[in-house]
Amino acid sequence: MNPSRFRLSLRHQYKNLFHGIQNVCLTVSLVLGITGIALHSNSQTLRPTPAPSIEVSAVVPNEVLVGVRADQDDAQEAYRLNAAVGVAVGWQPELHTYRIQLQPGMTIRAAIARLRQRGDVVFAEPNHIYHVQSTPNNLSYGNQWGPPKVQANLAWDIWNPSATIVIAIVDTGIDNTHPALTNKIYRDALGIVGYNAFTGLRDNASDDYGHGTHCAGIAAAQINNGIGVAGIAGWTGQAGVSDTTYTKLMPVKVLDGTGSGSDSSVANGIIWAANNGARVISLSLGGTGSSTTLGNAVSYAWTKGCVVVAAAGNSGGSTPSYPGAYPNVISVAATDSNDQLASFSNYGSWVTVAAPGVNIYSTVPTYAAGGNFGLNYNYLSGTSMATPHVAGEAALILAQNPALTNSQVSSLITSNVDPYTPYSGSIAPGAGRINVYRALKAAGGGAAKIPTAPTSLVATPGNTQINLGWSGSAGAVTYNVKRSLVNGGPYLLLASGVTTATYTDIGLTNGTTYYYVVSAVNATGESPNSAQASATPAPQTTVYKIQSGPGVIGTFNPDAYFNGGSLYSVSQAIDTSAANAAPMAVYQTQRFGNFAYNMPALSAGASYTVRLHFAESYFTIAGQRYFNVAIN
């Protein structure tokens, strides 16, 4: 065997095995008792109080994180690190970072000192622990003051979305069955909705604490579904219409049922979100211990085009909290309904903006054992609650103008704020409390535009019904369907508020021709009508299946000799296209003359495959059958 080829194969096998080890060890870490992530929230009944400070010394026992040079991160690197201080039990390939479980008798301080002497090591650090600071609170009152304070309600009136934007809630997970959230949950083609950093698996990342679900509701709880609360990015721009398309929530579980996680679990969650479609990453967590691993994960997400938003912290001081204080992160302080900086909120020149974070009413899971909320909605306070206000704002901006870079979105958010004078100097110079309306206007160039007219309207007849389909319009929220009995109109409104690019008109008269046009609607107005399409409903004729490609079919028009095929039949192989999945056949009785069937012309190089199956009982001489089939 070629030696270089053998080394390549060995490396691939080793790293595949390593991923399995990583998943197991993350689970074991939970059993060993990782005790916290600073989800910056603080549940209050009437007035917020300063949250407990986070212990800088809180680290995972007997573990260190080691970043190595990219050119040294080969199949043997884990063995080299093992020989130095312990056993590699986790690996983050994007960051070239290993999680090392120390050998007996080796202290974290001694391990870091030894590792920093190595030429292949870029950094060595403790694996910091973060913890939840929220406590349960009974429901007291139900008004949401946050959205109107930041003028999200005005922003909804001009919002003209054109793309789906995914917000990753990197937290304790999300209750994806919550009635206010389930339609907003991001699901891939397999139906899987998120990621669990403790198992390393794509799964539903359900919330067994409650914090992530509360943050998710603030960011994008569904509006106009008749229940619950209004998320900042949950609107459609059309009264009475509910959006399930343009903003989605991605559950990324990096904290367990006690609200606990570490640098490595949070970093893995950020990396996964950035690699799997998130444009906005919301981090309602943090601590005073800076981590190179976590900082590198944030930088990675930034290079992937993500807008990263993080809590400033609840210590009521100016000490930086991470990841909020890292470069390229929008760090968010908390304000109350009087636009005063919350007493528990961190502050300082490293804080980017402020947002509502006191007595915020939002979604919580009914099964949240750790939070023990016991209700679908409740109040919480904290910079954790301020953060998803900003994440929702970023999603609104990107959905309207997806071509913007993350740097441009950050600038739009930080430069379009309400001046924050009560605590001048408490946050970054020139910063203020967010104003979603101003930022969205700046992103979209003013008021939303009337949508373009729908195109490619097609009318397909059926028995007492006509099926309509068309191509969607840019900026459309709903569609109006109009009908006439006269070619060219005038048209009468048949249906409004249609949210899909299809419609079925039922209860029609067979043999009568109907004429249709469709228009698109959003909060700004209604588009011109589409081009006209017409059809004449009729009883269903038997379909003769022609399999020349996906969905190619034709219709056989029976003549006077046709009686249902009691003697002779002609049929073709089943067409399994989605629109015509049921098998059908045409039948022909004994007759003379020509049976003609016209098939559409094919493009150059294409061909039809036709299978004819005959059944007959007429013989001129025993065993002799007469058939004459000609295809032109």
Residues classed as catalytic = 171, 211, 384
Name the DSSP class of 120.
T
Q: Output the CA torsion 253→256→258→261 (10° steps).
A: -90
For 212-280, give the DSSP string: HHHHHHHHHPPSSSSSS---TT---SSTT---SSSEEEEEEE-S-TTSEEEHHHHHHHHHHHHHTT-SE
Let me know: does 483 contact 491? Beta carbons within 8 Å. yes
Task: Tell whether the torsion through CA atoms of 476, 481, 487 and 491 is positive or negative.
Answer: negative
Q: How far apart are CA 288 and CA 350, in angstroms?
A: 13
Q: Which residues contact 16 (CB under 8 A, 6 or more apart)?
A: none
Let me know: does 569 contact 585? Beta carbons within 8 Å. yes
Q: How far apart are CA 414 and CA 281, in angstroms?
A: 17
Neighbours of 464 (CB within 10 A): 14
Alpha-helical regions (H) of 379-486: 383-400, 406-415, 436-444
In 3D space, the residue among 213, 247, 217, 250 whose CA is nearest the CA of residue 395 turns out to be: 247
**Could you tell me the two tokens for 8?**
């390549």
Helix H or strand E encompassing 153: helix 152-158
Name the DSSP class of 416.
S
How big, in percent rounded to 5, are the helix, strand and coil portions of the chain?
20, 25, 55
Let me know: does 322 contact 295? Beta carbons within 8 Å. yes
Q: Which residues contact 547 (CB under 8 A, 6 or more apart)?
A: 572, 573, 575, 608, 609
For 422-438, give the DSSP string: TTTTSSSTT-EEE-HHH
Q: How far apart are CA 510 and CA 537, in angstroms?
A: 5
Q: Which amino acid is at 486?
A: V
Q: How far apart are CA 519 and CA 533, in angstroms?
A: 13
**Could you tell me the two tokens for 343?**
């007493």
Q: How far apart are CA 135 and CA 379, in angstroms?
A: 10
Residue with tokens 């943050």: 215
Q: Which amino acid is at 229?
A: V
Let me know: does 454 contact 531? Beta carbons within 8 Å. no
Residue 91 bridge partners (DSSP): 98
For 286-318, give the DSSP string: -BSS--HHHHHHHHHHHHTT-EEEEE--SSSSS
